[in-house]
């Protein structure tokens, strides 16, 4: 394909994309294919001679779309949202065209420098404490990671290195066994990636029991730390979650931050989903105490209209991350080293894409007010669904609706009955939801996901819940 052919093909593709997103409401949200559906649709080998572009285009509907779960359908209410917007798609096109690998400043200065500035813009939009921002002139700064899971792992590994250095200095007699004695903490509502980061980092992780509002509190964390210290273990790290995945609950960051400071733990905040809501002043009470944290992460690729992957992470003292991961082979050295961040030291891979373009385009083309309007609209839609649920005495809401997630179940019915309701809803193909379970209570999660969701879609979703509920209750 040459440049002229690309012009023509990309116009076709642009039309296809615009049609797809404009008419996505009409597609069945969950595919009906069986595992293995795709192989028979393709030749057994790659072609010897080039195919025609038109054949490739035609195969999108024949091969791919039947097996796509339409995450941006307004009938998609599973998990948490994933971002999608035209500005972000345009930015990814340009990023792919430039196609640089921005691991050091000199490997593509714009890639590093735009990222530094965009993480400041974004941090200001969220009203993060200035210590996190590079513009403050301190030790803080932001970086784009691929995912929240990577951000947690990077924070944990940095905390591990920092604590091991400390032990070596303070208690040299313990240094040999210190790594095996490290222990970190998260709430029982923390994301599975927290436990997984512990496995990867080779450290023990403890789940601290959350309270009746599913929040981790200071006293429980303190108690867990004291118990471990009594056993001769070395507490080093805690993750506070803002907007935990099961029910979008919020840990008490101030209490956790104070305990972390008392015992010298690194405090990382995982706000993967809820962080986007901080663009609105009225939700910032949820991050009270964030100034006590050492690192903060959220996914613009979840709720801030940026396509995957773009996970924003800020570190109060970036040198602690850089020192933990610094290796400096000759082929990566350059003369400007030290004057600008070399982001390769801030992350696990070496290579990195030009992802800050997505943030730039989205922040410019929506503006602060546009982003706020998006969040507020989606929170209102969640409350619309909540109101419907509350009006029907057969249902109960099992957690406060703070942002865009409604957790509900059939009241006084067994987990099995609720499981069947969920199964029937997904089999119906009109809407897609996933469940969660807290302390043995199974419930359904209705998340407002697509930016295309309108009040009418929420009403239709509720009608579908009513229909499947009536059918199910007639049966039993
Ligand atoms: C979605 C989510 C994650 C995982 O996000 P990735 O970017 O896919 O790693 C982690 N924590 C919370 C609270 C989440 O909601």
Q: Beta-carbon neighbour count of residue 428 at 10 Å?
A: 15
Q: Could you give the count of Cα atoms lying within 13 Å of 220 in the half-sphere of its Cβ? A: 19
Q: Predicted confidence band at 327 (pLDDT cuts at 50, 70, 90)?
A: confident
pLDDT in tens, 59-104: 999 999 999 999 999 999 999 999 999 999 999 999 999 999 988 8
Specify the higher pLDDT residue, 284 or 174: 284
Q: Is the pLDDT of residue 249 over 80?
A: yes
Distance of CA 401 from the midpoint of ligand 1 (Å): 19
Query: Ligand 1: does its nearest atom lie under 6 Å from the Cβ of 311?
Result: yes
pLDDT band for position 338 (50/70/90)? low
Confidence of residue 199 (pLDDT cuts 50, 70, 90): very high
From 245, 277, 310, 355, the mutation candidate for ligand 1 (largest count of ligand atoms within 8 A of CB) is: 245
Give the mean pLDDT of 242-246. Answer: 97
Q: Is 280 in the pocket of ligand 1 (CB under 6 A)?
A: no
pLDDT at 339 over 80: no
Q: For residue 32, what pLDDT is reported?
A: 93
- Ligand 1 mean position, distance from CA 55 (Å): 37
Whether the per-residue pLDDT at 340 is higher than 90: the answer is no
pLDDT greater than 80 at residue 18: yes
The mean predicted confidence, pLDDT, of the chain is 95
- Tell me what pLDDT residue 267 has: 98
Residue 325: is its pLDDT beyond 80?
no
Q: What is the pLDDT at residue 337?
A: 66
Task: Summarize the confidence of residues 7-21 as an average pLDDT.
Answer: 97
In short, whether 189's Cβ falls inside 6 Å of ligand 1 is: no
**What pLDDT does residue 172 have?**
87
Which residue CA neighbors atom 4 of ligand 1 most closely? Answer: 148
CB-ligand 1 contact for 147 (6 Å cutoff): yes
**Residue 241: per-residue pLDDT:** 98
What tens digit of pLDDT does each residue of 409-463 get?
Answer: 999 999 999 999 999 999 999 999 999 999 999 999 999 999 999 999 999 999 9
Indicate whether 336 pLDDT > 70.
no
Dist. CA 471 → ligand 1 center (Å): 35
Q: What average pLDDT does this structure show over 300-325?
A: 93
pTM of the model: 0.95
> How confident is residue 56, by pLDDT bands cut at 50, 70 and 90?
very high
C-beta of 182 in contact with ligand 1 (< 6 A): no
* pLDDT tens readout for residues 19-49: 999 999 999 999 999 999 999 999 999 999 9
| Nearest CA residue ID for atom 1, ligand 1 | 272
Share of the chain above pLDDT 90, in %: 89
Q: How far is the CA of 153 from the centre of ligand 1 (A)?
A: 12
Asked about 191 being catalytic, the answer comes back as yes
Residue among 230, 149, 133 nearest 186 (CA): 149
Q: Among candidates 403, 394, 382, which has minimal Cα distance to 446? A: 382
Each residue of 151-179: pLDDT tens digit? 999 999 999 999 999 999 998 888 888 99
């Amino acid at each position: 394909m040459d440049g002229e052919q690309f012009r023509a093909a990309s116009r076709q593709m642009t039309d296809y994309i615009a049609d797809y997103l404009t008419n996505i409401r009409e597609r069945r949200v969950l595919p009906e294919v069986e595992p293995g559906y795709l192989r028979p649709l393709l030749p057994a080998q790659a072609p010897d001679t080039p195919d025609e572009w038109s054949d490739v285009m035609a195969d999108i509907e024949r091969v791919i779309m039947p097996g796509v779960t339409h995450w941006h359908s307004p009938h998609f209410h599973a998990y948490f949202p994933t971002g999608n917007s035209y500005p972000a798609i345009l930015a990814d096109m340009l990023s792919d065209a430039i196609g640089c690998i921005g691991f050091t400043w000199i490997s593509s200065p714009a890639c590093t420098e735009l990222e530094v500035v965009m993480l400041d813009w974004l941090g200001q939009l969220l009203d993060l404490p200035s210590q996190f921002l590079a513009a403050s002139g301190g030790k803080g700064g932001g970086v784009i990671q691929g995912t929240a899971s990577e951000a947690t792992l990077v924070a944990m590994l940095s905390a591990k290195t920092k604590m091991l250095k400390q032990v070596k200095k303070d208690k040299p007699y313990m240094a040999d066994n210190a790594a095996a004695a490290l222990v970190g903490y998260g709430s029982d509502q923390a994301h599975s990636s927290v436990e997984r980061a512990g496995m990867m980092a080779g450290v023990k992780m403890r789940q601290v029991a959350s309270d009746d509002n599913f929040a981790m509190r200071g006293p429980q964390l303190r108690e867990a730390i004291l118990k471990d210290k009594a056993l001769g273990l070395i507490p080093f790290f805690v993750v506070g979650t803002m907007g935990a995945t099961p029910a979008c609950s919020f840990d008490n960051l101030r209490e956790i931050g104070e305990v972390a400071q008392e015992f010298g733990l690194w405090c990382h905040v995982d706000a993967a989903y809820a962080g986007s809501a901080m663009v609105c002043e009225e939700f910032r009470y949820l991050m009270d105490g964030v100034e006590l944290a050492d690192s903060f992460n959220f996914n613009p690729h979840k709720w801030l209209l940026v396509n995957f992957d773009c996970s924003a992470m800020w570190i109060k003292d970036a040198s602690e991350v850089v020192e933990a991961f610094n290796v400096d082979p000759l082929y990566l050295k350059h003369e400007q080293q030290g004057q600008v961040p070399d982001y390769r030291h801030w992350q696990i891979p070496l290579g990195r894409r030009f992802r800050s373009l997505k943030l730039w385009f989205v922040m410019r083309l929506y503006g602060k007010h546009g982003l706020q309007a998006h969040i507020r609209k989606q929170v209102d839609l969640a409350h619309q669904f909540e109101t419907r649920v509350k009006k029907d005495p057969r249902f109960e809401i099992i957690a406060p609706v703070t942002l865009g997630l409604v957790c509900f179940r059939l009241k006084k019915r067994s987990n099995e009955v609720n499981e069947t309701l969920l199964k029937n809803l997904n089999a119906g193909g009109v809407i897609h939801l996933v469940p969660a379970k807290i302390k043995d209570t199974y419930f359904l999660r209705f998340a407002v996901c697509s930016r295309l969701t309108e009040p009418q879609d929420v009403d239709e979703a509720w009608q579908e819940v009513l229909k499947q509920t009536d059918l199910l209750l007639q049966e039993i």
